[in-house]
């Protein structure tokens, strides 16, 4: 069996996320000093989905560590559509709440699109509202989807200049794939999006200078497909039967060909939460700008 030697530089999402959190902490302290209260994030988790509980706990802990006040709302899975919509509208009006995060997935019987669309776009710190997606598409980003935004920040931190590169996004979900394509276009890359209708996935990946994998299937992107010197961002987080966390990219052979690659875990996951916190500060400062100094002339 041929041995593989890793040549790729690991893109350390934990380290970069820590820098983003420090930035957020500084901004949160300044906001609190200026407004007499910390920025506020309402985190809504409907029901008791085990994976969601872990994510929500991590997000609430991250808020505490960076000086953001976390408001916890945990309606039962039996909550009605109207009750949940009423909660969202209450949070839209609450002046102490600068950002609203609705943890997905929602229980069966609730229309996630309807609930998410009811969130005030100015408080949509997930960046999923159609208004925010539309602004990103028009090259006027406001609140940006956290995972794609995290990929862009991570690339910038490592000096990966995306302009002019050929980028392939594997996966076309509304949460990652589609907004990721818009982010890459905004950065000046030439973008291909692969999905279930793609005829030759290997060929599309092989020609890419940048690969973003976001399908939720372990090892779907083969390492042998990775172009020499490419940058690989693996968004997938999958648990094997043995309990090990792996990504959507076949890591070892990909790392032997790429110039940069994100590990799983420790790559994009920490960046997603960090950019959520950053979005919360962006929302707070946009909703509550400081009054302009009086004209002294």
User: Within 13 Å of residue 204, how many CA atoms lie on the same side as its CB?
Assistant: 20
The confidence score (pLDDT) of residue 203 equals: 98
For the chain, report the end-to-end CA distance as a whole number of angstroms.
79
The confidence score (pLDDT) of residue 51 equals: 78
- 114-133 b/e (C-beta count within 10 Å ≥ 16 → b): ebbebbbbbbbbbbbbeebb
Q: Is 59 a catalytic residue?
A: yes
Beta-strand relationship, 260-261 and 245-246: unpaired
Of all residues in the chain, the percent with pLDDT exceeding 70 is: 97
Mean pLDDT within 126-135? 97
| Angstrom distance (rounded) from CA 251 to CA 33 | 46
Q: Report the SS3 class of residue 121.
A: helix
Nearest to 152 by CA among 254, 66, 233: 233
Q: What is the pTM of this model?
A: 0.94
Q: Is 103 a catalytic residue?
A: yes
Tell me which H or E stretch contains 260: strand 260-261
Among 103, 124, 209, 282, which one carries the catalytic annotation? Answer: 103
The confidence score (pLDDT) of residue 292 equals: 64
The confidence score (pLDDT) of residue 162 equals: 98
Q: What angle do CA 85, 117, 68 make, to 5 degrees?
A: 80
3-state helix, strand, coil in the chain (%, to 5): 40, 15, 45
Cis preceding linkage at 249, omega within 30: no
Task: Indicate whether 160 pLDDT > 60.
Answer: yes
Task: Indicate whether 112 pLDDT > 60.
Answer: yes
Contacting residues for 113 by C-beta, under 8 A, at least 6 apart = none
Length of the chain: 297
Among 98, 124, 126, 209, which one carries the catalytic annotation? Answer: 126
Eight-state DSSP code of residue 283: H
The confidence score (pLDDT) of residue 201 equals: 98
Among 59, 123, 124, 248, which one carries the catalytic annotation? Answer: 59
The confidence score (pLDDT) of residue 34 equals: 97
Nearest to 90 by CA among 119, 61, 113: 119
């Amino acid at each position: 069996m041929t041995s593989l030697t890793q040549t790729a530089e690991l893109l350390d999402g934990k380290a970069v996320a820590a820098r983003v959190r420090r930035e957020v902490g500084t901004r949160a302290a300044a906001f609190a000093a200026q407004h007499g209260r910390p920025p506020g994030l309402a985190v809504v988790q409907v029901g008791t989905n085990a994976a969601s509980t872990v994510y929500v706990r991590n997000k609430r802990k991250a808020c505490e560590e960076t000086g953001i006040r976390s408001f916890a709302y945990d309606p039962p899975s039996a909550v009605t559509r109207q009750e949940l919509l009423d909660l969202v509208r209450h949070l839209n009006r609450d002046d102490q709440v600068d950002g609203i995060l609705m943890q997905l997935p929602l229980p069966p019987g609730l229309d996630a699109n309807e609930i998410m669309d009811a969130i005030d776009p100015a408080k949509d710190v997930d960046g999923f509202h159609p208004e925010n997606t539309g602004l990103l598409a028009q090259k006027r980003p406001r609140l940006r989807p956290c995972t794609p935004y995290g990929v862009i920040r991570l690339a910038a931190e490592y000096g990966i200049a995306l302009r002019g590169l050929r980028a392939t996004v594997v996966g076309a979900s509304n949460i990652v794939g589609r907004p990721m394509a818009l982010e890459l276009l905004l950065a000046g890359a030439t973008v291909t999006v692969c999905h279930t209708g793609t005829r030759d996935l290997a060929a599309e990946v092989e020609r890419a200078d940048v690969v973003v994998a976001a399908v939720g299937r372990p090892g779907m992107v083969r390492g042998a497909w990775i172009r020499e010197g490419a940058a690989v961002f693996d968004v997938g987080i999958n648990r094997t039967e043995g309990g090990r966390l792996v990504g959507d990219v076949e890591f070892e052979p990909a790392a032997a060909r790429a110039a940069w690659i994100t590990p799983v875990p420790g790559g994009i996951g920490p960046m997603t939460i960090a950019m959520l916190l950053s979005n919360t500060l962006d929302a707070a400062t946009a909703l509550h700008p400081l009054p302009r100094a009086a004209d002294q002339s």
